[in-house]
Structure 1
Amino acid sequence: MATQANVAGRGADGTPDSESDAKSSTVLIVGAGVVGCVTAIKLAQAKIDCTIIEKLNETSIAPRACGYFGAAQIFLNEIGMYKHIREKGFMTRGISWRGLPKDDGTGTFKQYGDLVAAQWLCDPNDYELPVGTGMLGLPQGSLNRLLVEKALETGYVHVDYGMKLSSVMENSKSTGVTALVEDVNTQSEIKYHARYCVGADGAHSALRRSLNIPFGGHTWPERILTTNVMIPNVVDPVYHSFFYMVDKFWGLASPLEEAILGKTTLWRYNFAVPADDTRSDEELLSDETILDLYETRMPGPRPLQVKIEARVLYKIHQRLVPTMRKGHCLLAGDAAHVCNPMGALGLNTGILDADALAEALIMVLKEDCSDKVLDLYSDERRQVFAFFVDPMSTQNKLRIQSNPPEVAPEQDSYFRLLNSNPTEEQMKELMKPYFETWRTAIRKVAKAAGL
């Protein structure tokens, strides 16, 4: 863990009394999560020094994202992280949609629900799964720890934990950014100065609030009950990650480590809690509630042989800022946009924000490019969210919850395609947006704009 600065002289208002008291770096990143760390790694590889401040005292291990695919894999490979993630993680070949599990007639075992459709993420005959194919699995907390280590190894990144952004005091082309930061352990305040500041501090972004940038959109009526659970693997479903389709408590199950037959391994089970469920958070998070949900949603032997490892409730939002840039401050990831997480479009979009933003900053700081490229970053990534991520993540949600599995294979055009024995070219065309639309080639965009 990085050491934290001591506070020197103070002015009458209690803030540091001179710029000499400020900690300085070329880029200040707010948030040491995945998006902040990926941004720092790419900048560091271009020999740009960064300081990351993180309000938590250590890397978060909260149950969040767990799968990375499409263009996100390509970028992670470019910065040298794909191999490390794959060594620590595992691969799955696709996802599926199913009805609820069914009793096998003995009363002692529930089979996987009827298969509605399946989406391969690789060639069906390919078991090597090169970069860009399959779903690369690793829980977000584990990925975050790998990225912090990689960032620190560069020698260009410093991480200060227990540091919470209070406000942005200066934000201009002439002076750069000066931020007032609170040490959460001592309640003292420290100035941080940088040429640019990146807000990668999540949906409740302190930087976004300090800049008075609105966060328009809506909150879905359901909440997500997320659980991590140890489960014995007794059946190979081929498509390990699967959505279970039902009007209430619909959700997604995914392995969090390789699901080896005959072994007990960690899985993620998500449930959408209906808005009209009046139970308290304590009741919803209780063993009784979760085990009742497992009973109807989880295939396998009965009685259930599980161990709950983690549980948390989340709200689901669809929101987007009107701009991802204000002066020398920029937003990325959940600080700029949030969406229904079922479908792996949340963190992966943030990772691809980091790719475009870091490249734009490299162009400005190392190549004397006009800082208008940062406006292009904002415009292009907002469009990716508004016209691709937002509608796709919305449809992912509606497809699961309001599409009876008995009729969905015929009524849903997406399912009809998947079930029609599509050609290799059709499947490539289906996945094309996840490689081309999702990722922003910021240099290409800048060249087209004459920068």
Structure 2
Amino acid sequence: MNNSQGPTSDNSPDHGGHGSHLPDETGTPILIVGAGAVGCLTAFKLGRAGIDVTVIECLPATSDSPRACGYYGPIQPILNELGLYELIRKEGFMTKGLCWRKKPKDDGKGGKVLGEMIAFQPLSAPDDTTYDVGNGLLNLPQADLNKLLLRAALGTGHVQVHFNTELVSILGNSDENGVIARVRDVATATERDLRTRYLVGADGARSVTRKSLGLPFPGHTWPERLIATNVVIKNELDPTWHTHYVLDRVHYTIATPLEDPVVGESTLWRYTIAAAPDDTRTDDELITDENILRRYEDVIAGPRPLQVRIQARATYRIHQRLAPTMRRGNCLLVGDAAHINNPFGALGLNTGLLDAEALGEALIMVLNENYPSSLLDVYSDERRKVFQMFVDPVSTQNKLRLHSIDADTAVEDDWYFRLMKDPSKLSHKQLEELSRPFNESWRTDMRALAKSF
């Protein structure tokens, strides 16, 4: 194939000879399907351990779609262990936490001010300005994180990335012979077969890998669509909690900065607003300027008329789904290819990155340290448990809390809002109980689990 150099932009840094040719029929130890953030982190972790990795991606470049943008404390130590935290922090910025608000209200001057704060979730001390690893919310749009992880993976010298190359099917999958994958050059429609020891499906919710393995994707789809927008707004105020949810029975919203929000300057924000469940308009109709600006009137504070500039827009269906296994033979699933959940609470990409860390460690142990391949079953079981017992229920309640409770009685009605109305009054025991699932259950320590082998 002649397309393996990929794009010549920030999406595809100087390969230094990497990615020029797909492997021949003798194969590659690891083939990763999907060059998104999760696929690139998996490739980076394996590459820095000296394992050769080939990544294929059906798109011509990494995606710039409006997606995730915040990374919690439990994720940060892992990024730090991998030598990535400072790189991400240099390109991104820190915020102190998040809050829940009522809709903006009239300011008496023709504009609107932020709605009353219902509750808040501090992620660092109020006076923290240094944000040691694990404190605060680390912010960087997923598209930028993806490019950073791609550069890091290629920089190991053991990773090749081939854009415009898609998985067609899996022809063989056995412990003895590894995996035979049929791939296609998107531009020329030329197909060829690749042999690999292990194939990792990091190809998202519509995963061809998962479908090729014959795995169902049970769960459910929420009735409403989300309208995700990147928008430039002038920062009139400096609230302590920049990332905020707006409660509403229909058009509930999350707003979060994509650039450091300096007062008096115009910076990029993400506003994701729910459409009505019974809205029959097409996706294209939902993302017209007219409809988006109408929704902004209800959820963006500031002088009127609003002075905003929309830079990106997309609609999404949201789901709660989990594959019945994350391992089938020598094929493994990671991230959205294995599980998906609604985005409220930022549990999607963060969980995928934790999958990548766990799977990368397991594969290193199997390939470099002669651990039995059954360790990969442990990976599958443990990461599915994390979704079933933590990610799915917590993300579900995060969403329901935004539109199933009256904003005026939220503190009175909901135990969580009642606790977080003033977190400074919580006891150490209460804080520990609230944070335990995030700190103890979310990550999977493959080294500790392997001690039973």
TM-score, normalization by structure 2: 0.94
**Aligned with 1:436: secondary structure?**
helix
Report the equivalent of 1:59.
Answer: 62
1:422 equivalent among 406, 421, 426: 426
Residue of structure 2 aligned with 1:93, choices 89, 92, 96? 96
Establish whether residue 149 from structure 1 lines up as the match of residue 151 from structure 2: yes
Aligned letter for 2:42?
T
- Residue correspondence of structure 1 range 25-424 to structure 2 within 5 A: 25-107=28-110, 109-420=111-422, 421-424=425-428
Question: Is the Cα–Cα contact under 8 Å of residues 30 and 36 in structure 1 kept in the other structure?
Answer: yes
Percent identity of the aligned residues?
A: 53
Moved more, 35-44 or 125-134: 125-134
Q: Give 1:3 shift.
A: 5.2
Alignment partner, residue 15 of structure 2: none
Could you say what secondary structure the match of 1:261 adopts?
coil
Q: What SS does the aligned partner of 2:154 have?
A: helix
Q: Distance in 2 between matches of 1:167 and 1:157?
A: 22
Instruction: Report if aligned partners of 2:169, 2:212 keep a CA contact under 8 Å in 1.
Output: yes
Kept in 2, the 8 Å contact 1:176–1:195? The answer is yes
Paired residues of 1:23 and 1:191 also in contact (CA < 8 A):
no
CA contact (8 A) 1:171 1:327 kept: yes
| 1:438 has 2:446 as partner | no
8 Å Cα contact 1:22/1:190 also seen in 2: no
Aligned to 1:13: none
Q: Kindly state the Cα deviation for residue 280 of structure 1 after the two structures are TM-superposed.
A: 2.4
How far 1:428 sits from its partner (Å)? 4.0
Name the SS for the 1:395 alignment partner.
helix
Letter in 2 for 1:47: G
**Letter of the aligned partner of 2:37 in structure 1?**
V
Separation in 2 of the partners of 1:220 and 1:187?
A: 36
3-state SS in 2 of match to 1:396: helix
1:392 deviation in Å?
A: 0.2
Separation in structure 2 between the aligned mates of residue 21 and residue 240 of structure 1, nearest angstrom: 51
Aligned-partner Cα distance in 1 for 2:196–2:281:
47
TM-score (norm 1): 0.94
**One-letter amino acid of the counterpart of residue 96, structure 1:** C
Counterpart of 1:199, as a letter, is G
Q: Structure 1, residues 194-213: CA drift from partner, whole Å, max 9, x if none?
A: 11010000000010000001
Name which of structure 1's ranges 354-363 and 427-436 shifts more when overlaid on structure 2.
Answer: 427-436
Following the alignment from structure 2 to structure 1, what is the Cα–Cα distance between the partners of residues 31 and 84?
A: 22
Which amino acid in 2 is paired with 1:82?
A: Y
Q: For residue 14 of structure 1, what is the aligned residue in structure 2? A: none
- Counterpart of 1:118 in 2: which secondary structure? strand
Cα distance in structure 1, aligned partners of 2:420 and 2:438: 17
Kept in 2, the 8 Å contact 1:54–1:162? The answer is yes
Is the CA contact (8 Å cut-off) linking 1:97 and 1:243 kept in structure 2? yes
Does the aligned pair in 1 maintain the 2:3–2:185 contact within 8 Å? no
Aligned length: 434
CA distance, structure 2, for counterparts of residue 28 and residue 312 of structure 1:
30
C-alpha distance in 1 between matches for 2:113 and 2:432: 32
Does structure 2 retain, via aligned residues, the 8 Å contact 1:168–1:177? yes
1:412, CA displacement in angstroms?
0.9
Give how far 1:68 is off. 0.6
Larger CA deviation: 124-133 vs 152-161? 124-133
Mapped partners of 1:394, 1:66: distance in 2: 19
Q: How far is the alpha carbon of 1:404 from its aligned partner?
A: 1.1
